[in-house]
Structure 1
């Protein structure tokens, strides 16, 4: 039996701080979820998450905010 996943809450946005992203490691997978929807989990790898975050920092997704 594997150990339970330990979720870590990132900084929260929005009024009241109810819109938080939680992240966890499960072996070689990275799990992410919204605190308001804990049953909906996104699964990725550390390398893919790193590539996504580098893209965000580089502005690759800025056109979605327009």
Structure 2
């Protein structure tokens, strides 16, 4: 994890979050960044586009449904 200055970063949260605390995602260069919305100055996890796309494919394919 690393700390990323978020001055010029377009952080996004899911519209499904509502008033809950969620993760936020942003594209930074060629990477996808994820952070905790409760701690915007805290650590950020960085993933390559391939890693992010594999994760999204797993989500849309229902691979993680058993975790909820």
Deviating above 6 A after TM superposition, structure 1's stretches of 4 or more consecutive aligned residues are none
> Please, what TM-score do these two structures have when normalized by structure 2?
0.69
Long gaps (5+) in structure 1: none
Equivalent residue for 2:56? 53
Shift of 1:62: 1.5
Q: Distance in 2 between matches of 1:29 and 1:11?
A: 19
Per-residue Cα deviation, 1:1-49 (whole angstroms, up to 9, x for no partner): xxx54132222525xx141322222221111112102212111011111
Which structure is higher in helix share? 1
- Does the alignment pair 1:33 with 2:35? yes
SS in structure 2 of the partner of residue 31 of structure 1? strand
Does 1 or 2 have the higher relative contact order (CA < 8 Å, sep 6+)?
2
Equivalent residue for 1:10? 13
Q: Give the paired residue count.
A: 60
